[in-house]
Structure 1
């Protein structure tokens, strides 16, 4: 009897033994929704090997089985490592199984080589299909997340347009009367505290108006000295600086100018400084904020650093996303608004954090540019 015929007969008579040995090796989860199909797929691969020993099979048959198995493994959400392990388990068990056929190993070698090639091709097509399916699944999830973000922004915009302006109207009146009281009664107790808190409330409302895209753009572009805008902000948040006991070091050189909308750029710097103060509450002393600035060619770099807790690497990549926050009562829109304003000024904002310090870097063009509302 020819070697190939003898081997085919042996495989035909001992398929049950092969399946038992293979099932002892493979990894199948109890939650696998297609676990009942695993044995049938093993039998089909075994039969393809038998057919291939007699006459080389077409690629179509192998690819058909590979894609079928890949679809089932993807639907069962099986780890790709387990998938490959099971394929290789089938290969190794089959090779060992064939050595018990009584055929001389030298006579088997050419057949074993062809079977190895068959398994390699099966693995390639199965993993390619599995990867494609998982990639499509991931893209669908990303698209769903993006759509969800847009829906949230749309809802927030509708909410903001309906009642945030209603908040600002009485707030503007109150702030106006407080200013009058400050002029008429400059020594009145707590009037400065009231004014400070009202300014903070107005700042938060402005953030929601930016997100809702309903804010009327009343700002105009102007040449702004960086040191002066920070001096005003530091004066504004001085009560918070004293309360937390933070040392602010300002090394921004005088004569460093940016061009843009003063109120919006002030909002960016104020938001980052307030976030820095919040972060420093979680740190022991000394608590420091360092302001630095420089000009390189046609770009201004402004760095705001604090020595608070490190922001984890996985978080740094998401802090500018809308609604992402680590604060218990945070809205998750502050840094998103900052990024939006800086981008509208043709600039860029980024964050780097390690165990020593966290630094927000804002880059802005020196020359005047067309700004979007």
Structure 2
């Protein structure tokens, strides 16, 4: 249906139709007026000729000088042998009995011929002459005829001597009219050739912003619409105000969506906080007993070097568990020693077993100071979680690398793996609890990393590049205090 077309087509089509109708109406009106004006010019010219001729014929008819009368009515046609549509076809002088007294074409209209004998048109003229009042002039147009008859009485001293018929063939001035019509047609085509492209350009120019606005509005039920390009329509009219209102609406919707996302994330974190707080007590009680047992063992039992190393690892592992539980509680104040190079070696020892199970090659590069003013327990937890996630994501026989180095007053940690790439959906919810970062696990590992990094006033980001997934952690040293942290 035409009315269901896009405004990009409907508005230019309506404009084009209006332009064509207007142009045709003006052209037809002009041609009709030109035809009437041309006809009136012909009648005026014929009437002027008839009046002049009727006055000149009076003395000739009074003296019954038929020969001079013939020369008189023939004279105009000798001077204008090439008709241009404005001159009469012939002149016929009738006597009082409405017979031909003399004519400019005697072979066609012979002397003393009665009008009805000259044809249907002249019979109509003869009948019309009988209805005219004495001395009345008139223009006669027989039906279905191409001739006009101008009737002029020839009167001398109140006595009607006869009647002058000025016969005009209307088809003779059609040539002039067609020339005018041809000119009008070309002017109309030129006007249409100029106005129609302008109409299509402005129609498209005006409706393209509306079309784009409609396309963006149609997506609002499925997703947040994208903001329109600011340079599409820069004017301050109704359409410009509509564009401005749409841009403000999109900004408000995005702000609302962001607030909703933050609220959902806050609710999730609050739920996790309540969950971790409920289990922290249950975990810390047995941990306290284990610490007491290890302390008693170290005081009362003489251990060989291997057993001492094993007990030391157990103690550090239990401390890691306690600090991890504390890290889940965002408001917890942890006490920990500074980070040292030995912490990196401990982390490597803890994750090596998982790497061997998947035949993953570990690449290790540590370029830091011997001691850094960072909470060692928290940094170790970051490293363990990132490396275990990387090993889990890596394919069998794949590669995982850890690089730690100083970047000014920051510790820069980069963990990479060549396993499955992160999808855009995963990137959007990567550090949310229970986000299903991978097919296995509960998604808390990265959330814990995020919480710890936030406590340390740092940043954590993720990305993929050339088939490598990387996590980048930046921890500022200037935020930490001297001594224990």
**TM-score band (shorter)?**
0.5 to 0.7
Contact 2:323 2:377 in 1 (8 A): no
1:94 to 2, 5, 14: 14
Task: Classify 1:341/1:300 alpha carbon distance in 2 versus 1 (closer, same or farther; 3 Å).
Answer: same
Aligned to 1:229: 343
CA distance in 2, matches of 1:297, 1:147: 36
Return closer, same or farther for 1:363/1:141 CA change in 2, 3 Å cut-off.
closer
Q: What is the root-mean-square deviation of aligned Cα atoms in Å?
A: 4.0
Partner SS state of residue 130, structure 1: helix
Instruction: Provide the C-alpha distance between the structure 2 equivalents of 1:209 and 1:132, rounded to a whole number of angstroms.
Output: 44
Shift of 1:115: 7.5
Counterpart-to-counterpart distance in 2, 1:128 and 1:101: 37
Q: Does the 8 Å CA contact 2:426/2:437 hold for their aligned counterparts?
A: no
Task: Output one character per residue of 1:323-363: Cα deviation in whole Å (capped at 9) or x when no partner.
Answer: 42323453323223223322332332222323432222222
Matching residue of 2:359:
245
Q: How does 1:146-161 map to 2 (within 5 A)?
A: 146-161=262-277
How many Å separate the matches in 2 of 1:176 and 1:353? 46
Q: Deviations over 1:24-74 (max 9, x none)?
A: x2xxxxxxxxxxxxxxxxxxxxxxxxxxxxxxxxxxxxxxxxxxxxxxxxx
Are 2:280 and 1:164 equivalent residues in the alignment? yes
Q: How does 1:94-243 map to 2 (within 5 A)?
A: 94-103=14-23, 106=191, 109=195, 116=203, 121-173=237-289, 203=321, 209-213=326-330, 215=332, 217-220=333-336, 222=338, 224-225=339-340, 227-243=341-357
Aligned to 1:16: none
Q: Which has the higher helix share?
A: 1
Write the distance in 2 (CA, Å) between the matches of 1:261 and 1:146: 28
Unaligned runs of 5+ in 2: 25-187, 210-236, 305-309
Cα deviation, residue 274, structure 1:
0.9
Cα pair 1:22 1:93 within 8 Å, conserved? no
* Secondary structure class of the residue paired with 1:135: helix
1:264 Cα offset (Å): 0.9
Q: Which residue of 2 aligns with 1:359?
A: 470
Residue equivalent to 1:341: 452
Which structure 1 segments of 5+ residues have no match? Answer: 1-19, 26-85, 187-191
Secondary structure of the residue that 1:267 maps to in structure 2? Answer: helix
Question: Deviation at 1:232?
Answer: 0.5
Task: Give the conservation status (yes or no) of the 8 Å contact 2:287–2:318.
Answer: no
Q: Deviations over 1:66-86 (max 9, x none)?
A: xxxxxxxxxxxxxxxxxxxx4
Match of 1:274 in 2: 388
1:369 is matched with 480
Alignment CA distance shift 1:161-1:301 (3 Å):
closer
Label 1:175 to 1:325 Cα distance change in 2 as closer, same or farther (>3 A): farther
3-state SS of 2:451 partner: helix
Deviation string, structure 1 residues 189-215 (Cα, Å, up to 9, x no partner): xxx9xx98x959974x86565344254
> In structure 2, how many angstroms separate the alpha carbons of the residues matched to 1:207 and 1:91?
68
**Could you report, residue by residue, the CA deviation over 1:160-214 in whole angstroms, capped at 9, with x for unpaired residues?**
223332233235535765898998999xxxxx9xx98x959974x8656534425
Match of 2:376 among 246, 262, 277: 262
More strand by share: 2
Q: 1:123, CA displacement in angstroms? A: 4.2
Q: Give the 3 Å change call, closer, same or farther, for CA 370–95 of structure 1 in structure 2.
A: farther
Equivalent-residue separation in structure 1 for 2:258 and 2:375 (angstroms): 34
Name the CA shift for 1:143/1:364 in 2 (closer, same or farther; >3 Å): closer
Instruction: Look up the SS of the partner of 1:302 in the other structure.
Output: strand
- The answer (yes or no) to whether the contact 2:372–2:477 under 8 Å persists in 1 is yes
| 1:191-246 Cα shifts (integer Å, max 9, x gaps) | x9xx98x959974x86565344254x231352x23x32111012223332222222
CA deviation after TM superposition for structure 1 residue 366, in Å: 4.2
Task: Give the TM-score taking structure 1 as reference length.
Answer: 0.60
Judging changes above 3 Å, is the alpha-carbon distance between structure 1 residues 87 and 293 closer, same or farther for their aligned structure 2 residues? same
Change (3 A) 1:98 1:207: farther
Equivalent in 386, 400, 419 of residue 289 of structure 1: 400
Tell me the CA shift for residue 263 of structure 1: 0.7
How far apart are 1:315 and its partner, in Å?
3.2
| 2:363 aligned counterpart, secondary structure | strand
Describe the superposition over 1:274-302 as per-residue Cα deviations: whole angstroms up to 9, x where unpaired.
1111112xx132x2222223334333322
State the aligned residue count: 277
| Distance 1:313-1:180 versus aligned 2 partners, 3 A rule | farther
Tell me the distance in 1 between the aligned counterparts of 2:288 and 2:438.
Answer: 28
CA distance in 2, matches of 1:259, 1:363: 14
State the alpha-carbon separation in 1 of the partners of residues 353 and 296 from structure 2: 21
